[in-house]
C-alpha cells in the first residue's frame, strides 16, 4: 500500500500534490471510521468493508462515483464489485480485489472412502454432500472444517449466506427494510436445518481448536476462502481438489465482497480524492500490486492477464463463480445489526438450537432496530425522492 | 484572618482551576451531551441531524427484549458475584494472614489473576470450559468426571453459561478484595482478640464478634466496589460467549456498546448509558445509606 502511495506521489509531483496515508489496525476499524464520521473528521477518500457502504450512504457520508468512473471502465470490473458498491442504483465504492469461498478437498482421502467428487463448477447437491460426509465418517476420516471460531462474526454471514440463497431464501427483503417473515422463512428454516445436520452428525467441529486442520491432514474437506488457496496448494499439490459450495436448492450460490474505496461527501479536494481512487483501482497501478501482496481475486477483467494462475484450479473457479453465481451481502443500512444477529443465530443453531425459534428471535431483533429508526428513515426517503424528481426533469 | 491567610484563600481557586477544568471537559461536558442526546433520535454517523423525541428512547429500552435480557443478566451476575466474592475474599484473607514466607507466597499466587490481562484469562477459561467433543473434553469437565459429574457444555448451555462466567470472574477478582481485607485485618486490635480468647470464645465467635465488627468500614468498601465492578461486567462474556447462547450472557455494557457501534443508534445508546449510570449510582448511594461507615 505504501508502495502504491509512493508511486502515486511520484507520478503527481508535477501537479504538486501528494497523498498522505493513515493506517489503522484492522481491529475495530469500522468503529474508528464511525467515530471519525461522527466527529466530521473523515479522510477525503477511505477504505471500508463492502457491506458498510449502504450505511455510510444512508448517513450522507459518501459521494457517488458517477463522474469518477465512466460506463466503459465500469464494465471492466467484476459484476460483484459493482453490485457491492451500488446503493439505490448509484455507485459509491470500488474495490481493487474480490473474494471467494469454495469447498476444497483432498482427492486421496475422498478416494479412500469411495467418494466421487463433483465437477468443479457444479458442486454437490446437499444430499450428495451429506452422503459423502457419512462415507468419510464411516471410514474414520473427519469429513469437514467449517472454521466456526468464536471471534469471527462476519465469517458466519459471509460463508453461510450462500446456503440460505441456494435454498431460495434471503436475509432481508429486496427493499432492505423487512427481516420479519424473511429471515425465518420456510425456505431458510429448511436450508439451515440441513446445514445444522453437519454439526448434529459431527461432520464438522462446532468449537475448532486447529485453525487449519485441512493442511494438517486432519479433515478431508475445507469450506473456506480464496486466502487458503496458496497454503492448500503447497500442502496438497496434485491431491488438492476444489468445487463450488454444496447447494440446498437447484442453484448453487457463492459469497463475494471485499474492502473498497469511497470518497467522502465532504471531501476538501474531491478531484484529488477521485484521482487517488482511480489510481488504486487501476489494473496496473492499484489492482496488480495489491493482489500480488494479499493474494485476493483481482477486481478487474483486464487485471487477470497478469495472473496466469487464473487459468488453473482452484483460481479459475474463484473467477468463474464471481462472474456467475456470486452475490453481494445485503446492501442495507442495518447490515451491521443484521449480520451480528444472524451470526449469533447461526452459532447457536450449529450448537443445536431450534432452527425456527432461533431465526424468529433474530429476525425480530433486527426488525426492532429497523422499526426504531423508521422515523428518520422516512425523512431520508423523502429527500431521495426529491433528488430523483429533479433528475427526471429535462 | 491574617493578611497572609486571606491571600491564600484568594489564590485557592486558581490552583483548583486546572483540575476543575479537566473534570468539566472530560466528565461533566460529555455527560451533559450524552444526557441531551438521550432525548433525541441522534444517529452516530450524523448526530447533527438529531431532533428531540422526548422520552421515547427510555420507553423503548423497556420494550427492547435484548436490553431487558441484558438488565436481568447483569443483576443475576451481580447477585452471584458480590456475596460470594466478598465472603471468599474475607476467608482467604483470614487464611493467609500469617507472616511466614509460605503464606506470603500464597498471597502472591491468589493475586496473580488480578494482574493478568482479562482477555488472556477469558481465552484460558474458554479452553478450560471446553465441552466434550469426540473423545476430548476440557479440563473442567475432566476434573469433574473424577467425581462422577457428567460432562457439561458450560459456555454453550443457556442455563450454565452465566454462572460459569460468574465463577471465573470471582476467581479472577477475589485476590484484589483479599488484599484489601488483609490490610483491614492489620487494624484489628490484637488485645481484643486475646481478651476474647481468654474469655473462652471459639474461632468462629472471635471472627463474628471481634473481627467482623472491627472491619466494618473495610467490608463496606469492598461490597461497594465489588458491586460497581460487577455491574460493569463486559469483557468476560463478550470474549467467551459474545453474549450467547441466545442472549443468556448479554451484559448491560455490551448492549450499550452494540447500540452505539453496531446499530449506531446514538440516542438510544445514550439513554441506556444514562439508565446504567442512574442504576449504579443509585445502588452505591443506597449501600452507603444502609451500611453507614463509622467515623471517629
Summarize pLDDT for B205-219 with one digit per residue, the tens. Answer: 888 888 888 888 899
Interface of B with A in 186-225 (CB under 8 A): none
Say what the pLDDT of residue B135 is.
66
Residues of chain A above pLDDT 70, percent: 92
CA distance to partner chain A, nearest, from residue B258 (Å): 8
Q: Among positive and negative, which fits the CA dihedral A310, A312, A313, A319?
A: positive
Q: Among positive and negative, which fits the CA dihedral A116, A241, A137, A204?
A: negative
Mean pLDDT for chain A overall? 86
Contacts of B43 in chain A (CB under 8 A): 59, 373, 376
Report the C-alpha gap between A100 and A318 in whole angstroms. 6
Say what the pLDDT of residue A26 is.
61
Q: Do B45 and A336 touch (CB under 8 A)?
A: no
Q: Do A348 and B245 touch (CB under 8 A)?
A: yes
- What region, left, alpha or beta, does residue A251 occupy, with left being phi > 0 and alpha being psi -120 to 50 degrees? beta
Pair B144, B119: CB distance under 8 Å? no
CA distance to partner chain B, nearest, from residue A341 (Å): 10
Q: Do B134 and A202 touch (CB under 8 A)?
A: yes
Mean of the pLDDT values across residues A47-70? Answer: 90
pLDDT > 60? residue A377: no
pLDDT > 60? residue B231: yes
Nearest CA in chain A to B268: A372
Mean of the pLDDT values across residues A74-82? Answer: 92
**B54 contacts chain A (CB < 8 A):** no
Say what the pLDDT of residue B10 is.
85
Q: How many CB atoms lie within 10 A of CB A310?
A: 18
Is the confidence metric ipTM above 0.85 for this complex? no
pLDDT > 90? residue B148: no
Say what the pLDDT of residue A149 is.
77
Mean of the pLDDT values across residues A103-131? Answer: 92
pLDDT > 60? residue B168: yes
Residue A129, classed as helix, strand or coil, is helix
Nearest CA in chain A to B246: A348
Q: Are strands A97-98 and A93-94 parallel, antiparallel or unpaired?
A: unpaired
SS3 content of chain A, % helix, strand, coil (to 5): 50, 15, 35
pLDDT > 50? residue B81: yes
Q: Do A336 and B262 touch (CB under 8 A)?
A: yes
pLDDT band at A233 (very low <50, low <70, confident <90, very high): very high
Mean of the pLDDT values across residues B182-210? Answer: 87
Burial of A262 (0-12, 13-18, 19+ CB in 10 A): buried
Report the C-alpha gap between A390 and B249 in whole angstroms. 51
pTM listed for this prediction: 0.83
Contacts of A365 in chain B (CB under 8 A): 65-66
Say what the pLDDT of residue B158 is.
87
pLDDT > 70? residue A151: no
Buried b (16+ CB within 10 A) or exposed e, A142-178: bbbbbbbebeebebbbbbbbbbbbbbbbbbbeeebbb
Which residue among A34, A60, A347 places its CB closest to the CB of B261?
Answer: A34
Contacts of A355 in chain B (CB under 8 A): none
The DSSP-derived string for B87-156 is HHHHHHHHHH---SHHHHHHHHHHHHHHHS-HHHHHHHHHHHT---BTTB--HHHHHHHHTTPPP--GGG
Interface of A with B in 326-365 (CB under 8 A): 334, 336-337, 340, 344, 347-348, 351, 353, 358, 361, 364-365
pLDDT > 50? residue A49: yes
pLDDT > 60? residue B34: yes
Q: Do B244 and A375 touch (CB under 8 A)?
A: no
**Rounded to whole angstroms, what are the CA distances from B251 to A30, B147, B244, B276?**
22, 33, 10, 11
Nearest to A131 by CA among A219, A186, A194, A217: A194
Identify the top-confidence range among A24-33, B49-58, B115-124: B115-124
Question: Rounded to 5 degrees, what are φ and ψ at A283?
Answer: -55, -45
Say what the pLDDT of residue A386 is.
33
Segment among A284-288, A376-380, B134-138 with least mean pLDDT: A376-380
**A370 contacts chain B (CB < 8 A):** no
Say what the pLDDT of residue A374 is.
60
pLDDT > 90? residue A226: yes
The DSSP-derived string for A160-191 is HHHHHHHTT--SS-TTS---TTTTT-HHHHHH
Residues of chain B above pLDDT 90, percent: 40
Residue B263, classed as helix, strand or coil, is coil
Report the C-alpha gap between B1 and B141 in whole angstroms. 73
Residues of chain A above pLDDT 90, percent: 54
Contacts of A61 in chain B (CB under 8 A): 45-46
Amino acid at each position: 500500500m505504501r508502495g502504491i502511495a509512493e508511486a502515486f506521489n511520484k507520478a503527481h509531483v508535477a501537479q504538486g500534490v501528494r497523498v498522505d496515508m493513515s493506517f489503522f489496525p484492522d481491529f475495530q476499524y469500522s468503529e474508528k471510521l464511525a467515530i471519525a464520521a461522527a466527529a466530521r473528521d473523515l479522510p477525503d477518500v477511505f477504505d471500508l468493508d463492502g457491506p458498510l457502504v449502504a450505511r455510510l450512504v444512508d448517513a450522507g457520508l459518501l459521494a457517488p462515483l458517477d463522474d469518477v468512473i465512466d460506463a466503459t471502465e465500469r464494465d471492466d470490473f467484476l459484476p460483484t464489485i459493482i453490485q457491492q458498491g451500488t446503493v439505490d442504483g448509484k455507485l459509491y465504492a470500488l474495490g481493487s480485489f474480490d473474494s471467494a469461498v469454495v469447498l476444497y478437498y483432498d482427492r486421496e482421502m475422498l478416494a479412500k472412502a469411495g467418494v466421487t467428487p463433483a465437477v468443479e463448477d457444479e458442486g454437490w447437491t446437499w444430499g450428495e454432500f451429506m452422503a459423502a460426509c457419512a462415507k468419510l465418517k464411516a471410514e474414520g476420516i473427519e469429513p469437514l472444517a467449517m472454521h466456526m471460531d468464536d471471534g469471527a462474526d462476519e465469517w458466519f454471514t459471509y460463508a453461510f449466506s450462500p446456503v440460505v440463497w441456494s435454498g431460495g431464501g434471503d436475509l432481508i427483503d429486496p427493499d432492505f427494510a423487512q427481516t420479519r417473515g424473511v429471515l425465518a422463512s420456510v425456505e431458510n428454516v429448511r436450508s439451515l436445518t440441513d446445514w445444522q445436520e453437519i454439526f448434529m452428525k459431527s461432520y464438522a467441529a462446532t468449537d475448532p481448536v486447529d485453525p487449519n486442520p485441512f493442511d494438517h491432514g486432519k479433515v478431508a474437506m475445507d469450506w473456506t476462502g480464496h486466502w487458503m488457496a496458496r497454503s492448500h496448494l503447497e500442502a496438497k499439490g496434485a491431491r488438492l481438489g476444489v468445487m463450488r459450495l454444496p447447494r440446498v436448492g437447484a442453484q448453487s450460490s457463492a459469497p463475494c465482497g471485499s474492502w473498497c474505496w469511497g470518497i467522502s461527501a465532504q471531501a476538501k479536494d474531491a478531484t484529488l480524492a477521485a484521482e487517488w481512487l482511480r489510481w488504486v483501482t487501476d489494473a496496473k497501478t492499484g489492482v496488480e500490486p495489491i493482489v500480488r501482496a494479499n493474494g485476493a481475486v483481482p477486481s478487474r477483467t483486464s487485471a487477470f492477464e497478469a495472473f496466469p494462475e487464473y487459468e488453473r484450479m482452484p483460481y479459475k473457479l474463484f473467477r468463474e463463480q464471481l462472474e456467475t453465481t456470486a452475490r453481494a451481502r445485503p446492501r442495507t443500512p442495518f447490515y451491521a445489526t443484521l449480520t451480528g444477529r444472524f451470526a449469533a443465530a447461526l452459532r447457536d443453531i450449529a450448537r443445536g438450537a431450534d432452527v425456527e425459534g432461533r431465526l424468529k428471535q433474530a429476525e425480530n431483533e433486527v426488525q426492532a432496530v429497523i422499526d426504531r429508526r423508521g422515523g428518520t428513515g422516512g425523512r431520508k426517503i423523502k429527500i431521495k425522492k426529491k433528488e430523483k424528481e429533479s433528475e427526471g426533469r429535462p | 484572618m491574617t493578611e497572609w491567610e486571606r491571600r491564600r484563600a484568594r489564590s485557592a481557586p486558581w490552583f483548583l482551576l486546572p483540575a476543575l477544568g479537566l473534570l468539566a471537559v472530560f466528565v461533566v461536558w460529555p455527560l451533559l451531551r450524552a444526557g441531551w442526546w438521550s432525548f433525541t433520535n441522534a444517529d452516530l454517523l450524523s448526530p447533527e441531524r438529531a431532533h428531540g423525541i422526548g422520552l421515547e428512547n427510555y420507553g423503548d429500552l423497556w420494550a427492547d427484549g435484548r436490553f431487558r435480557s441484558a438488565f436481568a443478566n447483569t443483576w443475576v451476575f451481580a447477585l452471584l458475584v458480590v456475596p460470594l466474592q466478598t465472603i471468599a475474599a474475607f476467608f482467604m484473607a483470614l487464611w493467609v494472614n500469617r507472616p511466614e514466607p509460605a503464606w506470603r507466597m500464597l498471597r502472591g499466587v491468589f493475586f496473580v489473576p488480578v494482574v493478568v490481562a482479562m482477555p488472556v484469562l477469558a481465552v484460558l477459561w474458554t479452553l478450560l470450559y471446553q465441552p466434550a467433543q469426540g473423545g476430548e473434553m476440557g479440563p473442567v469437565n475432566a476434573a469433574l468426571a473424577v467425581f462422577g459429574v457428567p460432562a457439561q457444555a458450560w459456555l454453550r448451555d443457556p442455563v450454565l453459561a452465566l454462572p460459569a462466567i460468574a465463577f471465573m470472574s470471582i476467581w479472577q477478582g477475589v485476590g484484589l478484595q483479599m488484599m484489601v481485607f488483609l490490610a483491614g485485618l492489620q487494624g484489628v486490635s490484637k488485645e481484643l482478640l486475646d481478651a476474647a480468647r481468654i474469655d473462652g470464645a471459639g474461632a468462629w465467635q472471635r471472627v463474628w464478634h471481634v473481627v467482623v465488627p472491627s472491619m466494618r468500614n473495610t467490608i463496606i468498601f469492598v461490597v461497594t466496589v465489588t458491586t460497581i465492578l460487577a455491574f460493569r461486567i463486559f469483557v468476560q462474556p463478550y470474549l467467551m460467549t459474545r453474549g450467547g447462547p441466545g442472549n443468556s450472557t448479554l451484559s448491560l455494557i455490551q448492549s450499550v456498546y452494540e447500540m452505539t457501534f453496531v446499530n449506531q443508534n446514538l440516542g438510544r445508546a445514550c439513554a441506556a448509558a444514562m439508565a446504567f449510570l442512574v442504576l449504579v449510582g443509585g445502588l452505591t448511594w443506597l449501600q452507603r445509606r444502609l451500611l453507614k461507615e463509622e467515623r471517629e
